[in-house]
């Protein structure tokens, strides 16, 4: 069993998340524990109000919502009574046995799991401390429950087999799945994991699942009010179906929230720039003389999706890379001029079109510098040199890969620090 504890400032979000699952028929309310009213299980409004009233007893505590998921190994499908006992034993172990809490059984994933919603504010207004609760209380309790109920230990399972994930990502098929639910599943995964710095970059990821975030036309009311709609698309990229308002989701997916992530994403993705540049450069070398579409297919096999932006005449004016390995999104121009749409086309075509020489025909010449012809550049690697045809306004393909960046220093940073001189000991 794997236990995951999440805390937040809003009780409404985890509550409505689970209640919406119940309404959709993919979850069931198993238990409403420690509620003073008998009919709480029948009225969702009463269930929420009691938790909110309790949380309001302590105005100094902002983080007062606790959302727990208990995830079992595939095949461990227990009856209702046993699941209730497991939930009660777990809440007792982490010190929440006297708190009101709701237990839901979800059936929308490949493994059986429970969700528990509660608050850490007690009846007297005191706050149950949550610091390091996972290590100090949850882990020992989990291990004890595994032994008591004969559950599959988490340590014996391969990582990622049944650990809860935000969504099970699958391409949205309009008309074959409930549109809002399918869009919501994709959005949760993308907004949480991918590093994008603009709405077009976000749409580059969403387009992989045939979804688009649409602000509407500039003259429209939704655009002027900074609203956002999510829509499904068909195979040709045409918008279909009823648009879904960003504010209608139980999680944050509004334009304001998306824009708030741009700055941090910009910083976090910097560490991965060299990785995607190298992948593109090496692919271009291996695919020398090939078309752009062939290069794109090769990158896709490496986990890098390439989204082309073309005008009505079919002319390429922009390109975006979605690196699914590092979950980073880059406009080609953000990686450098050589990675923009024009830069890539130049690097693919310049040698073969302008000189009539295919890039793979680079001639191995050793160190015979005297044998160079006019307009050629020699790059030496160790004892072996290569000659390539160079043109004004473009860097050669091999030069891009081989030559170090101007800001790079071969001397390690630690070696560049000035060492302090040791003071000589004065002997009396």
DSSP string computed for 218-264: TTSHHHHTT--EEEEE-TTS-EEEEEEEGGGSSS--SHHHHHHTHHH
Query: Does 2-156 carry CATH code 3.65.10.10?
Result: no
Residues 6+ apart with CB under 8 A from 52: 11, 12
| pLDDT-derived band at 156, boundaries 50, 70, 90 | low
The Cα–Cα gap between 250 and 181 comes to 11
DSSP-derived 3-state class of residue 275: helix
The Cα–Cα gap between 119 and 112 comes to 24
What are 278's two structure tokens?
A: 């190298």
Q: What is the pLDDT of residues 175-207, one digit of tens each?
A: 545 678 778 888 888 998 899 999 999 999 998
Going across the sheet that includes 239-245, the strands are: 211-214, 229-233, 239-245
Residues 6+ apart with CB under 8 A from 343: 332, 336, 337
**In the block, residue with structure tokens 């220093």:** 409
Tell me how long the chain is: 428
pLDDT above 70: percentage of residues in the chain: 74
Q: Which residue in 5, 130, 18, 113 sits closest to 68, CA to CA? A: 5
Helix axes 12-23, 44-55, angle to 10 degrees: 170
Average pLDDT, integer, range 39-49: 79
Q: What is the pLDDT of residues 99-124, one digit of tens each?
A: 999 999 988 765 678 999 999 999 99
**Range(s) for CATH 3.30.930.30 in the chain?**
2-156
Average pLDDT, integer, range 357-369: 38
């Amino acid at each position: 069993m794997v236990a995951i504890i999440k805390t937040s400032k809003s009780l409404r979000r985890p509550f409505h998340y689970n209640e919406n699952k119940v309404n959709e028929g993919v979850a069931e309310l198993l238990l409403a524990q420690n509620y003073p009213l008998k009919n709480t299980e029948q009225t969702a409004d009463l269930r929420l109000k009691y938790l909110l009233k309790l949380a309001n007893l302590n105005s100094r505590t902002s983080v007062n919502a606790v959302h727990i998921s208990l995830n079992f190994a595939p095949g461990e499908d227990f009856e209702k009574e046993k699941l209730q006992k497991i939930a009660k034993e777990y809440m007792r172990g982490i010190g929440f046995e006297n708190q009101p809490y709701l237990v839901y059984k979800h059936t929308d994933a490949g493994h059986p799991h429970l969700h528990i919603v509660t608050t850490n504010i007690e009846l007297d207004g005191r706050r149950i401390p949550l610091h390091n609760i996972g290590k100090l209380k949850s882990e020992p309790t989990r291990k004890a429950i595994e032994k008591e109920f004969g559950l599959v230990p988490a340590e014996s399972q391969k990582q990622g087999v049944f650990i809860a994930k935000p969504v099970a990502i699958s391409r949205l098929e309009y008309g074959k799945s409930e549109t809002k639910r399918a869009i919501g599943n994709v959005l949760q995964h993308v907004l949480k994991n991918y590093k994008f710095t603009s709405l077009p970059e976000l749409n580059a990821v969403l387009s992989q699942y045939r979804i688009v975030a649409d602000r509407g036309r500039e003259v429209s009311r939704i655009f002027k009010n900074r609203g956002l709609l999510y829509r499904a698309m068909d195979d040709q990229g045409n918008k279909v179906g009823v648009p879904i308002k960003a504010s209608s989701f139980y999680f944050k997916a509004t334009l304001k929230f998306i824009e708030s992530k741009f700055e941090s994403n910009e910083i976090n993705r910097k560490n991965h720039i060299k990785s995607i540049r190298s992948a593109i450069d090496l692919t271009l070398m291996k695919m020398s003389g090939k078309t752009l579409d062939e290069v794109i297919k090769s990158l896709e096999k490496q986990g890098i999706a390439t989204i082309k932006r073309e005008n009505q005449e079919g002319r390429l004016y922009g390109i975006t890379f979605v690196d699914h390995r590092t979950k980073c999104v880059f406009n080609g121009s953000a990686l450098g001029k050589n990675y923009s749409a024009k830069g890539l086309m130049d690097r693919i075509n310049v040698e073969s079109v302008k000189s009539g020489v295919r890039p793979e025909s680079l001639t191995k010449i050793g160190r015979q510098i005297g044998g160079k012809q006019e307009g050629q550049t020699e790059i030496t690697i160790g004892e072996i040199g290569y000659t390539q045809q160079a043109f004004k306004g473009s860097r050669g393909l091999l030069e891009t890969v081989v030559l170090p960046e101007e800001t790079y220093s071969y001397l390690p940073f630690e070696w560049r620090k000035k060492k302090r001189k040791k003071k000589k000991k004065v002997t009396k």
